[in-house]
Amino acid sequence: MNLKLAIQKSGRLYDDSVKLLKECGIDINNNVKNQLKATASNFPIEVFFLRDDDIPQYVEDGVADIGFVGENVIYESQKKVDIVEQLGFGKCRLSFAVSKSENYTGKEFLQGKKIATSYPVLVQKFLDENNIQAEIHVISGSVEIAPGIGLADAICDLVSSGSTLFMNGLTEAEIILQSQSALIKTPELSEEKQAILDKLLFRIQTIKKAKNKKYVLMNAPNEKISQIVNVLPGMKSPTVLPLTIEGWSAIHTVLSESEFWEHIQEIKSIGAEDILVLPIEKMVV
């Protein structure tokens, strides 16, 4: 029995989805161009390559058991699926944007305006929650050009870096949704397939825990160890091992990227030397 997983067949989430499966130790033979289905050689999973907008429907219907898809697509589709886990990639935001020449004064600016978007459900929900009356124009692509050609006064679209808005003379005005890729499942998943999903989730969570974590090793005089340990905010208690040089020890710990940079100067000033920083691929806690 295979767990059926739907992922985006092309676009911004495809590469990260395939990378995550590979990091989980799952080998997918997806070297054939335009293939729609592939089976793992070492894990009971079958992968369907679909349009991202179609994934929630396939999962709701049980054609696919689970899917990797952006939260923006999940909420816009309004399909009956369960969100199991945020995956940490494909981060973006759904935002209103207006022309740089406009003076955006707040949500009330949208009152009576024409709004171009590919997300009419989420936009209408925002408008209703804020008692705003506006006209929605649904556009499937190139939403950014709408204000420039007089089709709309504002747009609501996905934003990552904001460079596309800038190139089209727009500025981000209001964020209505923070989004990232998530794992969804059909509500009617069998016990056997849930057991496979639990194994996959364990691997995914192990990968996520290791993201932005660093394995840090340093040498320090024994009389400085307690001071250094008090500064370190790592996992539980650091490991301290004696060196062959009398009076010195090696300290091993795990820090996030930000924790490392926040504390490294203080640690060094206390007396730590030969500091080595290594990436972590996986972490089971």
Q: Of 3, 41, 1, 2, which Cα lies nearest the Cα of 185? A: 3
Instruction: Domain 92-179: give its CATH code.
Output: 3.40.190.10
Residue type (1 letter), 192: E
C-alpha R_g of the chain: 25
Domain with CATH 3.30.70.120 in the chain: 213-279
268 near 227, Cβ under 8 Å?
Answer: no
Report the Cα 126 to chain-centroid distance in Å: 23
Instruction: Domain 3-90+180-210: give its CATH code.
Output: 3.40.190.10
State how far the Cα of 129 lies from the Cα of 131, in Å rounded to an integer.
6
Q: Which helix (H) or strand (E) holds 204?
A: helix 191-210
Q: Of 46, 61, 60, which Cα lies nearest the Cα of 6? A: 46
83 near 182, Cβ under 8 Å?
Answer: yes
**pLDDT, position 234:** 63
Angle at 7 between CA 281 and CA 46, to 5 degrees: 85
183 near 204, Cβ under 8 Å?
Answer: yes
- Concatenate the DSSP letters of all residues of 30-73 into one string: --STT--EEEBSSSSEEEEEE-GGGHHHHHHHTSSSEEEEEHHH
Domain with CATH 3.40.190.10 in the chain: 3-90+180-210, 92-179
Residue 6: strand, helix, or coil:
strand
State how far the Cα of 242 lies from the Cα of 219, in Å rounded to an integer.
9
Q: pLDDT tens digits for 231-259?
A: 887 667 789 999 999 999 999 999 988 89
Report the Cα 39 to chain-centroid distance in Å: 25
Q: pLDDT tens digits for 257-275?
A: 889 999 999 999 999 999 9
Bridge partners for 193 per DSSP: none
Say which residue the tokens 């058991």 belong to.
Answer: 65
If one counts every other C-beta atom within 10 angstroms of the C-beta of residue 241, the result is 9
pTM of the predicted protein model: 0.85
**pLDDT, position 95:** 97
Bridge partners for 182 per DSSP: 69, 86
229 near 251, Cβ under 8 Å?
Answer: yes
179 near 77, Cβ under 8 Å?
Answer: no
Q: pLDDT tens digits for 112-160?
A: 999 999 999 999 999 999 999 999 999 988 899 999 888 999 999 999 8
- Concatenate the DSSP letters of all residues of 62-128 into one string: TSSSEEEEEHHHHHHHT---EEEEE-S-S-EEEEEEEETTS---SGGGGTT-EEEES-HHHHHHHHH
Annotation: CATH topology of 213-279 = Alpha-Beta Plaits (3.30.70)
Q: pLDDT tens digits for 181-228?
A: 999 999 989 999 999 999 999 999 999 988 888 999 999 999 999 999
Q: Is pLDDT at 52 greater than 80 in this prediction?
A: yes
